[in-house]
Amino acid sequence: MSPARVATEFARGYIIPVGGAEDKVSAVEILRKFTELCGGPRAKIAIIPTASVLPDTGSRYEQLFTGLGASSAIALPYAERADAPRADWMAVLDESTGIFLTGGNQLRLSTILGGTAVARAIRRANARGVHVAGTSAGAAILCEHMIAFGKEGSTPRAGAASLAPGFGMTNRVIIDQHFRQRDRLGRLLGSLAYNPFAIGLGLDEDTAAFIDPDDCIEVVGSGAITIVDVSALQHSSMAEVSESEPICMIGVQLHILTQGSTYDMRARTARPPTQAQAQAQEKS
């Protein structure tokens, strides 16, 4: 799936992948920033808990977002593909200022909602300025090429990661979540080795990439984001190796970005927090 075209009169909404296990009881920084971005007291947030099999996932996020000051937060518990055409739930999506996809299993999201009017509505909403966030499984499915599953480990190996179509909010990145906690560098590198076009985003838990309409990332949260840039890749052995063999990759650039750091995905340049703050002040 490719991103929806952004009309000249609109700016694309933020795309916000979260690495999972975001703080929900203390500072609640990531969810608070998302709520404020969506309008604060005017925010209307649609929650899609489809990735989860827990019955209270949707209601828990409803309470979280209304507790953070949103005017409304409504869970749309799509459980099967037959639910996708529901007009009342589509109306909630159409009126929302923010859409939030919960964690769980990204293949539940893709098999239940992939290719449906719901997925198209989310892409169109983002193209007209609605902010779309997802945590864990909800983060993985935001991009065009989604990591469906894979093996842990730091070394990229052939076949260690399986890709599936995502919702296609952006084709600039491949996202992996719970990154440091589950040792997923190898599967992200392996995913990029198939076609070194996209940028790899490895999101630690309680850490989010706030991707603005100009494709600049701001890091928010207590962990780090690993940026894997393969644009200068000189060699990849992906085409020659057999199943489970290590992949030789030469020319990979890697950044570790923490709270307040930024990354320009178009220029492929990273800035530490102090430089990012100075640049923001210059623009203001």
Q: Given this model, what pLDDT does residue 1 score?
A: 62
Catalytic residue among 131, 178, 191, 261: 178
Gap between the Cα atoms of 221 and 273, Å rounded: 13
More confident residue, 164 or 274: 164
Gap between the Cα atoms of 126 and 112, Å rounded: 20
Contacts of 36 (CB under 8 A, 6+ apart): 43
What confidence tier does 223 reach under pLDDT thresholds 50, 70, 90? very high
Residue 130 contacts residue 44 (beta carbons within 8 Å): no
**Average pLDDT in the 267-276 region?**
90
Q: How far is CA 202 from CA 92, 140, 183, 188, in A?
A: 31, 10, 10, 7
**Closest of 99, 96, 3, 93 to residue 42, by C-alpha:** 96
Most distant CA atoms of the chain, gap in Å: 55
In the predicted structure, residue 87 carries a pLDDT above the cut 80: yes
Asked about 131 being catalytic, the answer comes back as: no
Give the bridge partners for 207, in sequence order: 221
Burial code (b: 16+ CB inside 10 Å, e: under 16) for 12-50 equals: bbbbbbbbbbbeeeeebbbbbbbbebbbeeebbbbbbbb
What are the phi and psi torsion angles at 81 (to 5°)? -65, -25
Tokens of 200: 């790899």
Rg (CA), the chain: 18
Tokens of 206: 């309680």
Helix, coil or strand: residue 96: coil
The reported pTM is 0.96
Gap between the Cα atoms of 50 and 254, Å rounded: 33
Catalytic residue among 22, 62, 144, 205: 205
In the predicted structure, residue 5 carries a pLDDT above the cut 70: yes
Asked about 95 being catalytic, the answer comes back as: no
Gap between the Cα atoms of 121 and 199, Å rounded: 25
Asked about 255 being catalytic, the answer comes back as: no
Catalytic residue among 136, 191, 236, 261: 136
Burial label for 240, CB within 10 Å (0-12, 13-18, 19+), is exposed
What confidence tier does 281 reach under pLDDT thresholds 50, 70, 90? low
- Mean pLDDT value across the chain: 95
Q: What domains are defined for the chain?
A: 15-283 (3.40.50.880)
**Average pLDDT in the 81-99 region?**
98
